């Protein structure tokens, strides 16, 4: 399968249905043993030292890992992403657009999803089949989340890592599913983590994962990761994609309130 880079989370079902392996450049950047090297690559190519380290890291990860195609989120992402995309295009990297509409209207989201499917020449039925498959994996990540904030058995870093990895399923759905199942079995056997202070991490996932281990030295632990948790769609019970009598794609989402 062909690799395609992601600058932020997008509907990966469409890409997988089209025969691509999605690669989250953010994860590629921060999980590197020498992630500062990616920043150095960007700065050698002209990015200023004062610019956002995330943007430089994404650029470096894309160049260093020979990613030839990416999804560029043109609306609803960091304002610096547009500049990043322009530079990558100058480097000969093919950019496919996607947007998260500022209007937040369902009909506008629907239009963007339809355009995205048209770009990759896939239909709603093909995408729905992949969505059902991926939801099984997302449910496993939700279980690890519960093992964190309810059972106190999974630690903050595990909660962070397994949920943030849902953006690209670590490049292999089957392998990632097996990894999650094994993690759940191991975590369930543990005794609960007994820390006095239960913490929540809000905002962009950390660039340095050792923050989770650091706070444990102060009798504290992270039990909630705001952004990472959203990658598992914790409040989405049903997302049905179907074709109506006029063959127009409709997206219906039923939400429930959940921690």
Q: Tell me: the pLDDT tens digits for 65-90? A: 999 999 988 765 667 788 898 899 99
Q: Tell me: the pLDDT tens digits for 3-46? A: 999 998 999 999 999 999 999 999 999 888 888 899 999 999 99
**Structure tokens belonging to residue 230:** 């959203």
- Give, for 94, the enclosing helix (H) or strand (E): strand 94-99
- Delineate the domains of the chain, giving CATH numbers in brackets: 2-122 (3.40.50.11890), 126-230 (no CATH)
Residue with tokens 């990472």: 228
Cβ 201 vs Cβ 223: under 8 Å: no
Confidence tier at 93 by pLDDT (50, 70, 90): very high
pTM equals: 0.85
Cβ 164 vs Cβ 205: under 8 Å: yes
Q: Tell me: the pLDDT tens digits for 180-232? A: 999 999 999 999 999 999 999 999 888 888 999 999 999 999 999 999 999 99
Contact partners, residue 168, CB within 8 Å, separation at least 6:
6, 12, 22, 23, 24, 27
> How high is the pLDDT of residue 217?
94
The answer to whether the Cα torsion of 88, 89, 90, 93 is positive or negative is positive
Cβ 59 vs Cβ 38: under 8 Å: yes
């Amino acid at each position: 399968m062909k690799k395609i880079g992601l600058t932020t989370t997008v509907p990966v079902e469409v890409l997988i249905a089209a025969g691509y392996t999605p690669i989250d450049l953010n994860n590629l950047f921060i999980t590197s043993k020498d992630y500062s090297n990616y920043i150095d690559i960007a700065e050698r190519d002209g990015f200023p030292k004062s610019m956002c380290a995330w943007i430089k890291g994404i650029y470096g990860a894309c160049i260093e890992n020979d990613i030839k195609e990416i999804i560029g989120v043109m609306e609803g992402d960091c304002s610096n992403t547009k500049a990043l995309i322009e530079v990558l295009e100058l480097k000969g990297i093919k950019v496919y657009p996607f947007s998260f509409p500022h209007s937040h209207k369902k009909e506008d989201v629907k239009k963007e999803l339809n355009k995205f499917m048209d770009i990759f020449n896939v239909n709603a039925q093909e995408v729905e089949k992949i969505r059902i498959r991926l939801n099984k994996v997302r449910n496993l990540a939700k279980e690890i989340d519960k093992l964190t904030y309810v059972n106190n058995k999974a630690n903050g870093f595990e909660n962070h890592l397994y949920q943030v990895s849902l953006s690209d399923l670590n490049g292999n759905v089957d392998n990632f599913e097996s990894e999650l199942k094994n993690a759940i079995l191991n975590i369930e056997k543990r005794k609960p983590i007994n820390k006095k202070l239960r913490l929540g991490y809000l905002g962009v996932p950390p660039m340095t994962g050792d923050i989770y281990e650091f706070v444990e030295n102060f009798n504290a632990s992270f039990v909630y990761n705001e952004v990472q948790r959203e990658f598992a769609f914790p409040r989405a019970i049903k997302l049905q994609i179907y074709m109506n009598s006029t063959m127009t794609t409709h997206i219906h989402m039923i939400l429930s309130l959940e921690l």
